[in-house]
Amino acid sequence: MNSKEYQLTPDIIVRIVKRKKSRRIKITLEPNGGVRVSIPYYVPYQMGVSFAKSKIDWINERRIIPKSISDFEQVGKSHRLEFLEGKGDRVTTKVIDQIIKIFIPTNLDHSHPQVQEAAKKASKKALSKEAIILIPQRVEYLANKNNFDYSSVNVKFTKSRWGSCDNKKNLIFNPNLMNLPWDLIDYVIIHELSHTKAMHHGSEFWDEVQRVIPNYKEQRKRLKEIRDNL
Ligand SMILES: [Zn+2]
């Protein structure tokens, strides 16, 4: 698989991926706010970029990560951001209770890349902190309730997956899940737990998912609009 990254707009990076099997151009959104365009092998990269450009409204409507992080913005389930005037000439951050405080030097404003970068980094930390507490609890609850067996649960940021399950039943979830509504988080958890019984996406697997979430197709569709390879 060959790929190249392009800066589509100042805040959107698009990854163009060439796939041997693909026959048409396809656009998907990644959990980290990035955009991915898959193109057939023989199509030039630049065509993928033009395609992404033509979909800019679609991208902006659906992307989870906001273009610019602003004051009092909600992060995950329980954190929010606050921008404050800081001392010195560097951006510093601190999480106090559930508030992510970003201290900005007087010569910069909110939208400065340095400030945005610091806010993103601090938000990621907060998402991890929430995920490492909330996800294992939720996995344990849903596994007990629905008779699933697993070995371990971990959280890890990845570019293109909400979760994974290996053949030893170790589960990994993306902390960006904390920015999704709970029914979608549950769907991702049940999806991965169902892999403990079927390591594929065949009918046996989907029967397992449906046993727990009878209307799973609805959640799957909503999630697909965000990222469609799960
Ligand atoms: Zn799967």
Q: What is the CATH number of the domain that holds 171?
A: 3.30.2010.10
Shared domain check, 167 and 208? yes
Q: Domain for residue 183, yes or no?
A: yes
Backbone angles phi, psi at 79, to 5 degrees: -105, 155
pLDDT exceeds 90 at position 63: no
Supply the pLDDT for residue 65.
Answer: 57
Q: Among residues 86, 103, 127, which one ends one of the domains?
A: 127
Residues 144 and 123 in one domain: no
Domain-located, residue 152: yes
**C-alpha 60 – ligand 1 centre gap (Å):** 27
Residue 56 sits at φ, ψ, to 5 deg, of -60, -35
CA distances to 28, 153, 161 from 189, rounded to whole Å, are: 21, 10, 12
Task: Indicate the pLDDT class of residue 229, thresholds 50, 70 and 90.
Answer: very low
pLDDT at 227: 61
Three-state DSSP state, 191: helix
| Residue 230 pLDDT | 39
Rounded to whole angstroms, the Cα distance separating 94 from 121 reads 11
56 with 89, same domain: the answer is: no
As for how many domains the chain has, the answer is 3
Which residue is listed with tokens 């060959």? Answer: 2
Same domain membership, residue 222 and residue 134:
yes
Separation of CA 154 and ligand 1 centre (Å): 16
Say yes or no: 110 and 140 in one domain: no
Distance 133 CA to ligand 1 centre (A): 23
Q: Does residue 83 share a domain with residue 170?
A: no
Angle at 43 (CA atoms; ends 39, 48), nearest 5 degrees:
55
Please report whether residue 188 resides in a domain: yes
Instruction: State the amino acid at position 96 in one-letter form.
Output: I
Do residues 136 and 185 share a domain?
yes
Indicate if 187 and 104 belong to the same structural domain.
Answer: no
Looking at residue 168, what DSSP letter applies?
A: T
Do the domain assignments include residue 46? Answer: yes
Residue 198 CA to ligand 1 centre (angstroms):
9
Domain assignment present for residue 69? The answer is no
pTM: 0.71
In the reported structure, the alpha carbon of residue 193 is separated from the centroid of ligand 1 by a whole-number distance in angstroms of: 9
Tell whether 68 is covered by a domain. no
Which is nearest to 130 in space by CA: 195, 92, 179?
179
CA of 108 to the centre of ligand 1 (A): 44
Pair 55, 81 in one domain: no
Tell me how far apart the alpha carbons of residues 9 and 15 are, in angstroms, rounded to a whole number: 13
Cα 184 to averaged position of ligand 1 atoms, centre (Å): 14
- Could you tell me if 122 and 159 lie in one domain? no
Query: What is the CB neighbour count within 10 angstroms for residue 225?
Result: 12
* Long-range Cβ contacts of 138-142 (<8 Å, 24+ apart): 138/185, 138/186, 138/189, 139/171, 139/173, 139/189, 139/193, 142/186, 142/189, 142/190, 142/193, 142/212
- 29: three-class secondary structure by DSSP: strand
Supply 53's token pair. 């450009």
Question: Do 150 and 173 lie in a common domain?
Answer: yes
Å from CA of 225 to ligand 1 middle:
16
Say yes or no: 55 and 79 in one domain. no
Looking at 84, 102, 127, the residue that finishes a domain is 127
Instruction: Give the pLDDT confidence score for residue 228 in this predicted structure.
Output: 45
**Mean of pLDDT values over 163-175:** 96
In terms of residue numbers, what domain contains 31?
2-62
φ/ψ bin of 119: left (φ > 0), alpha (ψ from -120 to 50), beta (otherwise):
alpha
Give residue 68's pLDDT band: very low, low, confident or very high (50, 70, 90): low
Mean pLDDT, rounded, of the chain: 90
Distance CA 90, CA 194 (A): 47
